[in-house]
């Protein structure tokens, strides 16, 4: 098959959505499928230049554009007139098109171009229909409700299928914008297995961050963003810092929205700033070395569709502590690979106490279960090929006479 992934940006700092596009495409390519990406990044941006896939970037060039988008939120929608023209000219060259995400111009702009086309498109919401936003950001949710009624529900209606990462994501979506719709397939996501160079990776990380050597590390590795619950994690860590004096907290990830300064202030006020290490974004051996050096991994998010970093920790045989707002928490707990708690200071504090109190045999068993959980549930190779098989089957059964309700 020839597959086109449409995504707002290929910048790896955007987290799991971008990672999923690249990692699944890498699997498909190895099995003889041709994979391209269409994005709204400027063609001269560093993330496009470094993209491992053939990437068509249609965004506007301009050194001040990123700053303008921070000042004027409406620019973040990414209106790009060239998107529709490009798809009308080139869609026929693909067997399937996957729209990744909602609430930016890639979804509605693609719908405009594809709604009268025989080329099927599939919608992958990536957790963007989660009702959490209604409670956390009611004004933003109200704006999205308007967008849904005007634009996005048409994108949903005319998609050949909806692709969810977990049963939890599907159920949450049905409680919000989809209002009980039964459409969609649940297909496990995953990530590539970790390069088997554990000692090299640990040495790379520990050499770079020598002051952590000999400490037991609690690792957070993700974007530094308000929805990740890092303020709760720091407060929870402070509650038990005295009892578990051998543990330090490592916070690794990019700070694109200016959240770190407030978190540093909180940690100083609580007297745990010397026990918290900020590494910035980690890649390559340093990233894998951070996982390999961790006693356990923590993701205290208020909303997380999948949690690629959780699965990466499992692949490294690292036990995990997650909140029950991370949509794969049930898979983690049922596998004995970690512990799930509420997204509150009390819940996370109890979780930290539980994980820090584990005996060595208990921790070793949880580590073995983590690897087993990854292999059985989140192996990208198996899950990516299941998606290819699904799209091929739906394309065959639908043929040329797609039953879409057009022109609504």
Instruction: Note the pLDDT tens digit of each residue in 355-385.
Output: 999 999 999 999 999 999 999 899 888 889 9
Least confident of 133-137, 197-201, 247-251: 133-137
What was the pLDDT predicted at 64? 58
Q: What is the mean pLDDT of residues 17-37?
A: 93
Least confident of 63-72, 252-261, 295-304: 63-72
What was the pLDDT predicted at 157? 94
What is the value of pTM for the model shown? 0.80
Q: Say whether pLDDT at 133 is over 90.
A: no
Confidence class for position 125, pLDDT limits 50, 70, 90: very high
Task: Report helix, strand or coil for 138.
Answer: helix
Confidence class for position 60, pLDDT limits 50, 70, 90: confident
Q: Give residue-wise pLDDT tens across range 136-178.
A: 888 888 989 999 999 999 999 999 999 998 889 999 998 888 8
Q: Say whether pLDDT at 404 is over 50.
A: no
What was the pLDDT predicted at 63? 59
Q: Say whether pLDDT at 402 is over 50.
A: no
Q: Say whether pLDDT at 189 is over 90.
A: no
Confidence class for position 72, pLDDT limits 50, 70, 90: low
Q: Say whether pLDDT at 202 is over 50.
A: yes
What was the pLDDT predicted at 399? 54
What was the pLDDT predicted at 81? 87
What was the pLDDT predicted at 12? 86
What was the pLDDT predicted at 73? 56
Find out whether 11 and 25 touch, Cβ atoms under 8 Å. Answer: no
Q: Say whether pLDDT at 400 is over 90.
A: no
Closest CA to 141 of 150, 130, 151: 130
Q: Say whether pLDDT at 74 is over 60.
A: no
Task: Report the distance separating Cα 266 and Cα 262, nearest Å.
Answer: 6
Higher pLDDT among residues 83 and 307, named by residue: 83
Q: What is the mean pLDDT of residues 295-324?
A: 95
Confidence class for position 93, pLDDT limits 50, 70, 90: very high
Q: Cα 389–390–396 angle (5° rounding)?
A: 90
Least confident of 69-83, 218-232, 270-284, 368-382: 69-83
Q: Which residues contact 18 (CB under 8 A, 6 or more apart)?
A: 7, 9, 10, 11, 12
Q: How many CB atoms lie within 10 A of CB 119?
A: 19
Q: Which domains does the chain have, with CATH numbers?
A: 2-190+380-398 (3.40.50.2000), 198-377 (3.40.50.2000)
Q: What is the mean pLDDT of residues 182-197?
A: 86
Q: What is the mean pLDDT of residues 16-40?
A: 93
Closest CA to 195 of 268, 108, 281, 291: 291
Element (H, E) at 261: helix 260-269
Scan for tokens 């065959």, then name that residue.
396
The number of angstroms, rounded, from the C-alpha of 287 to the middle of its chain's C-alpha atoms is 16
Task: Report the distance separating Cα 34 and Cα 28, nearest Å.
Answer: 7
**The dihedral formed by the CA atoms of 207, 210, 215 and 217, expressed in degrees to the nearest 10:** -60
What was the pLDDT predicted at 69? 57
Q: Say whether pLDDT at 405 is over 50.
A: no
Q: Say whether pLDDT at 401 is over 50.
A: no
What was the pLDDT predicted at 67? 61
Going by their DSSP bridges, the two strands 294-299 and 216-221 should be labelled as parallel
């Amino acid at each position: 098959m020839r597959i086109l992934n449409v995504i707002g940006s290929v910048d790896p700092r955007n987290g799991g959505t971008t990672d999923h596009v690249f990692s699944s495409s890498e699997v498909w390519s190895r099995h003889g499928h041709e994979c391209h990406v269409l994005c709204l990044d400027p063609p001269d941006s560093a993330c496009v230049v470094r993209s491992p896939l053939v990437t068509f970037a249609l965004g506007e060039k301009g050194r001040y554009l990123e700053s303008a988008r921070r000042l004027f939120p409406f620019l973040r929608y990414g209106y790009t007139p060239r998107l529709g023209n490009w798809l009308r000219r080139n869609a026929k060259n693909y067997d399937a098109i996957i729209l990744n995400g909602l609430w930016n111009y890639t979804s509605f702009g693609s719908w405009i171009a594809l709604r009268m086309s025989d080329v099927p498109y599939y919608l992958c919401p990536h957790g963007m229909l989660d009702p959490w936003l209604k409670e956390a950001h009611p004004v933003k949710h109200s704006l999205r409700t308007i967008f849904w009624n005007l634009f996005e529900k048409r994108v949903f209606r005319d998609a050949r299928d909806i692709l969810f990462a977990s049963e939890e994501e599907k159920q949450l979506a049905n409680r919000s914008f989809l209002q009980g719709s039964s459409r969609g397939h649940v297909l496990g996501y995953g990530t590539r297995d970790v390069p088997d160079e554990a000692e090299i990776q640990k040495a790379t990380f520990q050499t770079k961050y020598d002051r952590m050597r000999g400490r037991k590390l609690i690792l957070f590795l993700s974007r530094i963003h308000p929805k990740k619950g890092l303020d709760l994690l720091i407060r929870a860590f402070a509650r038990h810092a005295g009892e578990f004096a051998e543990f330090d907290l490592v916070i690794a990830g990019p700070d694109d929205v200016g959240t770190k300064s407030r978190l540093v202030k909180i940690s100083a006020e609580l007297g745990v700033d010397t026990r918290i290490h900020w590494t910035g974004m980690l890649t390559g051996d340093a990233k894998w070395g951070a996982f390999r050096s961790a006693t356990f991994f923590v993701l205290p998010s208020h909303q997380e569709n999948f949690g690629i970093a959780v699965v990466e920790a499992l692949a490294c045989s690292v036990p995990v502590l997650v909140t029950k707002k991370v949509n794969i928490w049930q898979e983690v707990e049922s596998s004995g690979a970690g512990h799930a708690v509420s997204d509150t200071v009390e819940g996370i504090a109890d979780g930290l106490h539980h994980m820090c109190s584990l005996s060595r045999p208990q921790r070793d068993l949880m580590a073995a279960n983590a690897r087993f959980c990854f292999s059985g549930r989140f192996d990208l190779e198996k899950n990516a090929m299941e998606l290819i098989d699904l799209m091929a089957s739906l394309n065959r059964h639908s043929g040329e006479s797609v039953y879409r309700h057009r022109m609504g």
